Amino acid sequence: MRLFVQLSYDGSPFCGWQSQPNVPSVQDEMERALSIALGESVTVVGAGRTDTGVNARHFIAHFDVSAWPQEETERLLRKLNAILPPAIVAEAFYRVADNAHARFDAISRTYRYYIHLAKDPFAHHSCRCWYQLDVEAMNRAAAPLLGRHDFSSFEKTGGANKTDICTVTEARWEALDATHLVFTITADRFLRNMVRATVGTLLEVGRGRRAPEWVAEVLEARNRSEAGQSVIGEALFLEDIRYPYPLQAL
């Protein structure tokens, strides 16, 4: 039987979601903990491949088990969370069809990137900007990103994607208060490093080094060297993942 598991994690201790030789990953920790909690070897497939340091408030992965334990789901969650390291928390299990896929079935993903403009002792997951930003100009610059486009200019070079086409349905900046900003972007899929490169490009506009119209030119160029530098991963959060079918928690 196949299940989805919903989890959140602080990406700081990990080299991303995906299992890699000789480095810590969220996937490795989930497979280890689930195998212990369920008493059988478990392989986990995630909804995406967050990079080193990137966080998730709402992440979905799927796995298969021969049978679901008779114990209550809440008790199993407590058991699983006791095994998982402090940086990862499992929040819910969902029974899904045997062919459901956490990654390929997802129809949208939402990321948020956090920025602070003044010294903040609590901003451990936010990017410090040392200059003032024009939020209105950054939103004008983000408008051409909406819709279906080739996002090659915002992809880390060397990717092996079959296509660089993504459909973006939301891309906006907002001020949380006088010194804190957040950028929210939603799309059907994301390329590697796409959000961080997009934020770095928009910041060039926000600090007045480029005109808002420049971002549309970068998009059309389909050349990573035309865009701005990527920003740090620690300030990036995967906030939501949507599926074309309802998820009913066990």
In the annotation, is 51 catalytic?
yes
Residue 71 DSSP class: S
Mean pLDDT in residue range 169-186: 97
CB 176 within 8 A of CB 123: no
Q: What are the residues whose beta carbons fall under 8 Å from the beta carbon of 152, sequence distance 6 or more? A: 164, 191, 222, 223, 224
Q: Please identify which of the residues 10, 28, 51, 120 carries the catalytic annotation.
A: 51
CB 155 within 8 A of CB 191: yes
Q: How confident is the model at residue 80 (pLDDT cuts 50, 70, 90)?
A: very high
Mean pLDDT in residue range 245-249: 93
Query: Nearest-CA neighbor of 205 among 117, 136, 137?
Result: 137
Query: Nearest-CA neighbor of 5 among 65, 95, 75?
Result: 95
Tell me the pLDDT of the chain averaged across its residues.
Answer: 95
Mean pLDDT in residue range 77-86: 96
**pLDDT tens digits along 179-232:** 999 999 999 999 999 999 999 999 999 999 999 999 999 999 999 999 999 999
**Two tokens, residue 198:** 């997009």
Q: How far apart are CA 250 and CA 247, in angstroms?
A: 9
E-state strands within 97-245:
108-116, 127-128, 147-150, 165-175, 180-187, 236-242
**Is the model's pLDDT at 52 over the cut of 70?**
yes
Q: How far apart are CA 104 and CA 111, in angstroms?
A: 18
Q: How many CB atoms are closer than 10 A to CB 174?
A: 11
Based on its alpha-carbon atoms, the radius of gyration of the chain, rounded to whole angstroms, reads 19
Q: How confident is the model at residue 158 (pLDDT cuts 50, 70, 90)?
A: low
Mean pLDDT in residue range 226-249: 96
Q: Dihedral sign, CA of 29, 44, 8, 22?
A: positive
**Two tokens, residue 194:** 């796409």
The whole-number pLDDT of residue 68 equals: 82
The whole-number pLDDT of residue 69 equals: 76
**Is the model's pLDDT at 87 over the cut of 80?**
yes
Instruction: Please name the residue that has the structure tokens 């030789």.
Output: 21
Q: How far apart are CA 212 and CA 150, in angstroms?
A: 19
